[in-house]
Structure 1
Amino acid sequence: MDGRPYGAHRLRPRIFTDQQIDTLLVAAGRLTPRVRAASWQTLLGLLTVTGMRISEARNLNDDDITIDDDAGDGSGWVRVTDTKFGKSRLVPLRPTTMTAIRRYRRLRDRTFPAPKTTAVFVARRGTRIARSTAGNTFREIREAAGLAGGSTEPAARLHDFRHSFATNTLIGHIRTGGDVDAMMPVLSAFLGHVGPEATYWYLSNTPELAAALAERIQARGGGDE
């Protein structure tokens, strides 16, 4: 054992660009029937803005998403209880995300007036999205989006939404002059990691993050010898 929080071997993450995420969302919107397309568009959108695990998103129930009455701006919260490490957490949702979820729920409820599940996200028959179904459907989406991979790049994976959220959040913090060490516990809590050290390891060997750190050093003149 090497003492690291995860296995010694892992696939290199693919950090999505905004354009690639848009392409995936468009591809999801072309699924059939319509409720399946809306379910997957909203699900992928939620993964994009929260960094949730796909298992956590699949297992969300309607009462796990609530509006923040105190804020008064239409924002809300998602309560994540089915986590990898058994830790519950609250993740904030922006007003635009809450609006998208409400729009999807209206379509879902019109399609299935007699609910078959308490799940937020449903498959074509109105049942909770199964693990195997999620994998098969995303392979269909990434193929349509032209992100199935090849000899020079890896295929897009659902877990890459999580990597992209973590990496891009930290890159944005770095580029605005924020303190990386101060940000890590916050990001760790968002991701549901057991501690910041797990998040450091999770983000290690990510070229996009290394480039952002290099920009910071050069901007401060740290690259001069």
Structure 2
Amino acid sequence: MTKRPHLFARFDAFRHAVDIASQLEEFAAGEYVSHEDTYASIQRLFEGSQNPADSESPLNGQIGDELGAIAKECGLARLVRGENLNPYFDVAHVLRDALRSAGNVAVVTGSDARWLSAIRVALAYVSRRDPQRSAMQQIAPRDVTFAHAVNFFTSKGIDLSLVGDEVSIPSSDEWERLANTAWYPLRSLGDTQAMVLLDEILCDDTTRLSDECACIRLQI
């Protein structure tokens, strides 16, 4: 059976724009070392540019939410599709933090000069900032667990794919297979034991897992 691909439209469009911006001329040494200068420069690019056409409107009408969704897709694409995480993940977070209060700004595209300029500034900052003074962003633990679950179920032959951060399953039969795969080894456990076992399953701790499953079968 051919596996359906995981689809991350926001990430793919963003990656395209970042790849274009990364080919542009670099800024002079010493520029965009501080987040204050970086954020202010990015914010100026979008002054007075609110209320785009509906087709270009960001998630929830907020560009901060849109960029947060892009960053989330960056992490998921890394975990389930093996994509390069950076510079895309870091750039998305810099843009989100800079434009958190910018409101209804058109989504990122590689054909929008404002976005190419903003990404160029963010790229400079990411490569020049002092790591001792800047907190490095990490993929959220809940997204890591979610991606591990997706990888686990697909490894069991269940026909599911991610579309953004939503699971797509084509039929009720596949839903039943997924439910049975998750439910059978957990049904005789309490909440705490179930969570411990689930963590082991997702981390592929096969030796300890097989012992636990043997014990579960004896209890049933």
Global fold match (TM > 0.5): no
Bigger Cα Rg: 2
TM-score by length of 1: 0.30
Q: Which has the larger helix fraction?
A: 2
